[in-house]
């Protein structure tokens, strides 16, 4: 059951645990709502670092949790997000909690952004996927009062609650076993989302996929008994000031196909539809926020399985835009289904594209498990996406698309091949995708690392993280149509 987050001008009497901010060096804000024994904090080794906590008993039998915020002049939205998450983890078993992060700590921070960050951090930290647990041990917090007042703060809290709900949806989709979350189940979820949010939904089944020449998606699907789907969700407000496409990789299970993975390599491959989950989840809240931009969410989804009908290394597929691809590695399948999705986005006449995909292990090697790779063909558009990720608190790092590397994906028998080898694998994958976006401003987020967490940490729980959801919502919320003259990203 989600925590009910509310705004309260003071600490509610019924609150049994109270979170109080403390700066680095155990400095208390001037307007702190509670007195803390600084000597006790020092004895416990509490220094006030961001995300640090220390519980102290109060005279009335309740508990006060000191929350580290770091240096006073460095408090930002991510600081509050992490502090709120730390509080929820510390107060896990208490039903009624209050959080006083606003008390004298955010004078330089926009109050909407502050409220949003607090709600996001608290709610995302409370998430657990417990459907298959006999003894789930979920978070027991039922109510969380954010101590503060003001219309802007309330607006931010409301926004944060919605965004955290979208992240939870994405995590649920990713965490479901692949035997449950099939392409047809993803279609059913997209249908529910469309009906609830008032979005338009178009679905291509396996027959339509073949008839519409989506050769990449149809080819990858050949090895599976589960039929593929192409899902398109559309948010179309009146007086839209542009059109944006979000494209998400939806491989609900990736065995590698005939280029089969090892057993260890397959263990978490239900995560390979994290891009699709991010797109569906982000689309689900757009009508609530009502941005003045038309958004088309495109999700090509299938399993990648080995069988007697699977595509073979050396086979040639024809993508929707007419380009042919020699498939030398069937485990480089995500770019094949994305090629069709990107081609459809270009046909829709969009002003810009963002794709999100667990695309390459090479990106994980380069950037580790917490940072997504960001690539694209338009500097101004990439900067918009980069700024959105920074506001959302999702780590991205820009990578180049060197023109010199394009020859690495030349094919002997087709227009292009689907792998450029191990060296620079994330970059050649990006160059492959670039072949299908035409002259549209396009940004690619390779989330292979941060799509999954192996530990409960901060506001992230073990399993699917829902990464990309908050960035996509930020991209849409502050979308500026890229200038047509601004083409070409630095190489």
The full set of domains in the chain, from first to last, is 4-148 (3.40.220.10), 167-477 (3.40.630.10)
Specify the pLDDT at position 120: 98
Q: What pTM was estimated for this model as a whole?
A: 0.96
CB 3 within 8 A of CB 122: yes
Each residue of 209-243: pLDDT tens digit?
Answer: 999 999 999 999 999 999 999 999 999 999 999 99
Residue 261 is a catalytic residue: yes
Q: What is the CA radius of gyration of the chain?
A: 23
Specify the pLDDT at position 102: 82
Nearest C-alpha neighbor of 444 from the set 387, 401, 403, 491: 401
Q: Residues 335, 391, 452, 470: which is the catalytic one?
A: 335
Nearest C-alpha neighbor of 177 from the set 131, 218, 139: 131
Specify the pLDDT at position 475: 98
Going residue by residue through the chain, which has 491 residues, state the pLDDT in tens, using 9 for 90 and above. 689 999 999 999 999 999 999 999 999 887 777 788 999 999 999 999 999 999 999 888 899 999 999 999 999 999 999 999 999 999 999 999 999 988 667 667 899 999 999 999 999 999 999 999 999 989 999 999 999 999 999 999 999 999 999 999 999 999 999 999 999 999 999 999 999 999 999 999 999 999 999 999 999 999 999 999 999 999 999 999 999 999 999 999 999 999 999 999 999 999 999 999 999 999 999 999 999 999 999 999 999 999 999 999 999 999 999 999 999 999 999 999 999 999 999 999 999 999 999 999 999 999 999 999 999 999 999 999 999 999 999 999 999 999 999 999 999 999 999 999 989 999 999 999 999 999 999 999 999 999 999 999 999 999 999 999 999 999 999 999 998 644 555 55
Rounded Cα–Cα distance for residues 98 and 18 (Å):
5
The distance in angstroms from the start CA to the end CA of the chain is 48
Specify the pLDDT at position 485: 45
Q: Residues 184, 261, 323, 481: which is the catalytic one?
A: 261
Each residue of 127-161: pLDDT tens digit?
Answer: 999 999 999 989 999 999 999 999 999 999 999 99
The SS3 of residue 372 is strand
Rounded Cα–Cα distance for residues 308 and 447 (Å):
31
Rounded Cα–Cα distance for residues 435 and 442 (Å):
11
- CB within 8 Å of 244: residues ≥ 6 apart: 293, 294, 295, 296, 350, 351, 352, 353, 354, 475, 476, 479
Specify the pLDDT at position 185: 98
Nearest C-alpha neighbor of 342 from the set 296, 278, 404, 281: 296
């Amino acid at each position: 059951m989600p925590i009910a987050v509310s705004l309260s001008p003071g600490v509610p009497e019924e609150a049994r645990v109270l979170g109080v901010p403390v700066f680095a060096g155990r400095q208390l804000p001037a307007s702190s709502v509670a007195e803390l024994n600084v000597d006790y904090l020092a004895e416990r080794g509490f220094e006030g670092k961001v995300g640090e906590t220390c519980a102290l008993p109060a005279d009335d039998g309740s508990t006060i949790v000191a929350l580290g915020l770091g240096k006073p002049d460095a408090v930002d939205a991510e600081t509050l997000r992490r502090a709120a998450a730390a509080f929820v983890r510390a107060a896990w078993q208490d039903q009624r909690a209050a959080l006083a992060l606003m008390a004298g700590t955010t004078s330089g921070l926009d109050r909407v952004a502050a409220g949003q960050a607090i709600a996001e951090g608290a709610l995302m930290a409370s998430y657990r996927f417990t459907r298959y647990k006999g003894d789930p041990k979920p978070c027991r917090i039922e109510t969380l009062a954010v101590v503060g007042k003001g219309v802007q703060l309330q607006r931010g809290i409301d926004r944060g609650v919605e965004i955290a709900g979208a992240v939870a949806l994405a995590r649920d989709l990713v965490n479901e076993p692949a035997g449950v979350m099939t392409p047809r189940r993803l279609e059913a979820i997209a249908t529910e989302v469309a009906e609830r949010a008032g979005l338009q939904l178009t679905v291509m089944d396996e027959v339509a996929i073949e008839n519409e020449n989506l050769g990449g998606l149809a080819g990858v699907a050949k090895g599976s008994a589960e039929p593929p789907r192409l899902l398109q969700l559309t948010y179309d407000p009146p007086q839209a000031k542009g059109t944006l496409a979000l494209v998400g990789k939806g491989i609900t299970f990736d065995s590698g196909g005939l280029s089969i993975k090892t057993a260890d390599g397959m263990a978490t491959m239900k995560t390979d539809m994290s891009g699709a989950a991010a797109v569906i989840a982000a689309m689900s809240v757009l009508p609530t926020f009502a941005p003045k931009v038309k958004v088309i969410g495109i999700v090509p989804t299938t399993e990648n399985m080995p069988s007697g009908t699977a595509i073979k290394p050396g086979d040639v597929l024809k993508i929707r835009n007419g380009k042919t691809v020699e498939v030398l590695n069937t485990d480089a399948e995500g770019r094949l289904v994305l090629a069709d999705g990107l081609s459809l986005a270009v046909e829709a006449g969009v002003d810009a594209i963002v794709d999100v995909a667990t695309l390459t292990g090479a990106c994980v090697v380069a950037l580790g498990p917490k940072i997504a790779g960001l690539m694209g063909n338009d500097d101004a558009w990439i900067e918009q996406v980069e700024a959105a990720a920074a506001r959302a608190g999702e780590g991205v790092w820009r990578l180049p698309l060197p023109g010199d590397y394009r020859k690495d994906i030349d094919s002997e028998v087709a227009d292009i091949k689907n792998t450029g080898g191990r060296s620079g694998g994330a970059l050649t994958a990006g160059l492959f995708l670039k072949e299908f976006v035409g002259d549209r401003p396009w940004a690619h987020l390779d989330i292979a690392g941060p799509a999954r967490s192996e530990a409960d940490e901060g506001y992230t729980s073990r399993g699917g993280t829902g990464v990309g959801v908050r960035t996509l919502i930020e991209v849409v919320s502050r979308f500026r149509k890229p200038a047509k003259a601004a083409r070409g990203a630095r190489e």
